[in-house]
């Protein structure tokens, strides 16, 4: 098992957050940040069979945006959400039935703009495992967990290029894991977490 403690993860995330804020400063100069819709996701860490894993969801084909894609539980901030952690936990409970009181929050990795017009706060927390998940079929098709060490292995991912709005973008693709293909924004969020934990 990776030698992580809750306090160690918190320190690693806080340090990475500072670095990310500095990296993103130029992106949000002027009114750049205001043009993006605020959203938050939870990156659910868990320990299974003595190894650290991440939990992912497969989004429903019924959704308007990002349907059928691998993601973390989360979504747009609502006007009554007091902060982005609350938004991430609310969405997680709505999508997969994890109660906020069962999530130990370790911090966030800062924000990440994505091409569909959202500014996403990457909240990191640990959930107990196993857990009696309750999936909302309107939003989530299924869930799966993947070991951090598998995700950290560079042999399990490649870079491909995809067109969006007339431009070519480099996109991270992971190899299939138990039939699921992790790519795009969620893959980059995963890399950010692995970087914070010094696994890549």
CATH number at residue 131: 3.90.79.10
Tally of structural domains, the chain? 1
pTM: 0.91
Domain for residue 117, yes or no? yes
Summarize pLDDT for 152-181 with one digit per residue, the tens: 999 999 999 988 777 888 899 999 999 999
Domain for residue 41, yes or no? yes
* 95, two tokens: 């999508």
Cα 178 → chain centroid: 19
- d(Cα 191, Cα 49) in Å, to the nearest integer? 23
Domain for residue 139, yes or no? yes
* 188, two tokens: 């980059």
Summarize pLDDT for 44-78 with one digit per residue, the tens: 999 999 999 999 999 887 755 655 689 999 999 99
Domain for residue 154, yes or no? no
Domain for residue 172, yes or no? no
């Amino acid at each position: 098992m990776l030698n992580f403690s809750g306090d160690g993860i918190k320190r690693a995330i806080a340090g990475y957050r500072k670095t990310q804020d500095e990296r993103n400063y130029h992106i949000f100069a002027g009114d750049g940040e205001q043009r993006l819709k605020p959203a938050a996701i939870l990156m659910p860490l868990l320990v299974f069979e003595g190894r650290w894993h991440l939990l992912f969801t497969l989004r429903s084909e019924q959704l308007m945006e990002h349907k059928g894609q691998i993601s973390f539980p989360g979504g747009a901030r609502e006007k009554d959400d007091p902060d982005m952690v609350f938004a991430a936990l609310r969405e997680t409970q709505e999508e997969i039935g994890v109660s906020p009181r069962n999530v130990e929050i370790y911090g966030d990795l800062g924000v990440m703009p994505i091409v569909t017009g959202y500014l996403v706060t990457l909240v990191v927390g640990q959930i107990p495992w196993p857990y009696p998940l309750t999936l909302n079929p309107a939003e989530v098709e299924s869930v799966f967990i993947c070991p951090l060490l598998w995700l950290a292995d560079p042999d399990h991912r490649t870079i491909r290029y995809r067109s969006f709005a007339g431009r070519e973008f480099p996109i991270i693709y992971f190899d299939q894991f138990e039939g699921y293909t992790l790519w795009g924004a969620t893959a980059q969020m995963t890399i950010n977490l692995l970087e914070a934990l010094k696994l890549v």
